[in-house]
Amino acid sequence: LYLRRLADSIYVAGAEVLFYLQMEFDKLLVLSIGGAHLAGIYAIIMRLVDLTAIPIRTFSMMLVQRMMRAPELLSRLAVKSGIEGGVFLVSTLALAALGIVLHFFPNALGRNVAEAAPLVALAICVPGLRNLVEYQAELLFARGQTAVRALNLGLLAGLKAVLLIYVLTTIADTSNLVLSLNVVFLLLYLASAFLTYSAMRRPAKAI
207 domain-assigned: no
204 inside domain: no
In this structure, is residue 206 part of a structural domain? Answer: no
- pLDDT of 102 reads 87
Mean of the per-residue pLDDT values of the chain: 85
140 in a structural domain: yes
Overall domain count for the chain: 1
- Pseudo-torsion of CA 105, 109, 112, 114, nearest 10°? -20
User: Taking residues 175-179, what's their average pLDDT?
Assistant: 94
- The model's pTM is 0.87
Instruction: Say if 66 falls within a structural domain.
Output: yes
Q: How confident is the model at residue 59 (pLDDT cuts 50, 70, 90)?
A: confident
Nearest-CA neighbor of 161 among 56, 35, 25, 11? 25
> Rounded distance, CA 134 to CA 196, Å?
11
Which residues constitute the domain of residue 136? Answer: 2-199
Domain assignment of residue 205, yes or no: no
In a domain, 15, yes or no: yes
In a domain, 161, yes or no: yes
